[in-house]
Amino acid sequence: MTAQIFALLFSLVAFIATAPAQEKPQARADWEKYFTEFNATGTIVVADERAGTQAWWAYDEARAKQRFSPASTFKIPHTLMALDAGAVRDEFQVFRWDGVARSFAAHNQDQDLRSAMRNSTIWVYEKFAKEIREDRARDYLRKLNYGNADPTTARGNYWVDGNLAISAYEQISFLKKLYRNELPFRIEHQRLVKDIMIVEAGRDWILRAKTGWEGRMGWWVGWIDWPTGPVFFALNIDTPNRMEDLHKREDIVRAILKSIKALPPG
């Protein structure tokens, strides 16, 4: 009995010692300078797992816990849902443009899964949502533990205009599971989504990310693959100047990632 108690205590101590660093994020007040430089109000969470470390940083921790509409960052889980539901077969299936001229020129053409992700082609994902339907979407969201898992909406798309909301911390948790193929979807589907998320790559690193914009605020979430491990990030900022503010999402993230050598300089 004594040996069993000792073993139990040892296991508990080991668990505490290896508990994820996100339980006690380190505040990075010094990152305020990057938001000030770009005249932006927002938050960023970074989880650096290179070389087996578990560094977990946050600027404006209170806001990092606050839930916002995921906007087009939802295309990451939405693509997994669509693949699982059979709303899309693979990255080669073509969705024919309906001829309706939209404000973003890249949307006014045929799309496949890769271009729909890259261009945030909302009409493709509206097709997915119509086929998946609200009840099944709610089931998927609950299985994913995605934000408040609420796909209801009085008007518009639930991931932009509806009740669905997620925090920066929760974005990181979701991305970590996707990185490790630990989401409740087929591994080949998770690998495909990670492939179509690629934004940029160097000789020994790959940046996978997705922007999002709800109108009043915007996101950039993703991670950088390095041989020694990933660096995850989730930023959201207010966008009072609307489209004029959109570049700030990537500008701030890139400046911070370069400051911790998670992206090469230049």
Give catalytic residue positions: 72
The residue behind tokens 């816990």 is 65
Task: Report how far residue 13's alpha carbon sits from residue 156's, in angstroms, rounded to the nearest whole number.
Answer: 49
Point out which residues pair with 219 in neighbouring strands: 212, 236
Among candidate residues 206, 247, 265, 248, the one with its CA nearest the CA of residue 230: 206
Measured CA distances, 193 to 82, 168, 209, 248 (Å) = 11, 20, 11, 25
Is 236 in contact with 203 (CB distance < 8 Å)?
Answer: no
